[in-house]
């Protein structure tokens, strides 16, 4: 899939390599038109980032992050869908249905919004393992800073 007119990772991710903290638009982002430095000096890390929507071959456009206001990433050896919610929005019914679909497909789902985590466990999956994988995801960028 393509990002099309989505730019939400330029807001929700901790883009520390551009001094852009999570929750604020990167200063190089024009939310409607994309990265203003794309053709000049877009960092490799930005180029390489793919959310779950982007990585899928087919996906309902209503789940594109700029439409549903959530960025899903696969973590935990692809067994967990980690959802970063735009703090300016609530979870909508499209996302609610998708969470159920992920659970049906055997994924656990963790929703992160404004520092709060909500965990939906797939059958038979232990909570401590999910917590450990989420901790790794949260520390990933922190460790990269060091």
Based on the shown chain and the rule CB under 6 A, indicate whether residue 10 belongs to the binding site for ligand SF4: yes
Q: 33 to 62, contacts with ligand SF4 by CB under 6 A?
A: 35, 37, 42-43, 46, 49-51, 53-54
At closest approach, how far in Å is the CB of 38 from ligand SF4?
6
Query: Does residue 28 touch ligand SF4 according to CB under 6 A?
Result: yes
Q: How buried is 94 (Cβ within 10 angstroms: 0-12 exposed, 13-18 middle, 19+ buried)?
A: middle
Rounded CA-CA distance 121/126 in Å is 8
Cα-Cα-Cα-Cα dihedral sign, residues 46, 52, 57, 63: negative
- The reply to whether 67 sits near ligand SF4 by the rule CB under 6 A is no
β-bridge pairing 108-113 and 80-85: parallel
Name the DSSP class of 61.
Answer: G
- Using the rule CB under 6 A, is 95 a contact of ligand SF4? no
Q: Nearer Cβ to ligand SF4, position 67 or 122?
A: 67
Residue among 54 and 92 whose Cβ is closer to ligand SF4 = 54
Q: Helix H segments across the chain?
A: 9-12, 38-41, 44-48, 52-55, 65-68, 93-104, 127-145
For 81, residues 6+ apart whose C-beta sits below 8 A from its C-beta are: 52, 72, 73, 74, 102, 107, 108, 109, 110
In this chain, which of 14, 16, 18, 59 binds ligand SF4, going by CB under 6 A? Answer: 18
Q: Which stretch binds ligand SF4 (CB under 6 A): 28-36, 73-81, 98-106, 122-130?
A: 28-36
Positions that interact with ligand SF4 (CB under 6 A)? 3, 6-10, 15, 18, 20, 26, 28-29, 35, 37, 42-43, 46, 49-51, 53-54, 64-65, 71
């Amino acid at each position: 899939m393509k990002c099309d007119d989505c730019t939400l990772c330029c807001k929700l991710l901790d883009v520390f390599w551009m001094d852009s903290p999570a929750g604020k638009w990167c200063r190089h982002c024009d939310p409607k038109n994309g990265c203003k430095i794309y053709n000049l000096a877009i960092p490799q890390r930005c180029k390489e980032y793919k959310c779950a929507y982007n990585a899928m071959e087919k996906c309902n456009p209503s789940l594109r992050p700029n439409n549903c206001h959530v960025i899903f990433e696969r973590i935990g050896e692809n067994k967990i869908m980690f959802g970063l919610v735009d703090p300016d929005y609530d979870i909508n019914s499209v996302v609610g249905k998708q969470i159920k679909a992920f659970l049906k497909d055997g994924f656990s789902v963790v929703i992160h919004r404004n520092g709060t985590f909500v965990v939906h466990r797939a059958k038979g999956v232990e909570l401590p393992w999910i917590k450990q994988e989420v901790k790794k995801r949260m520390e990933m960028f922190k460790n990269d800073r060091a």
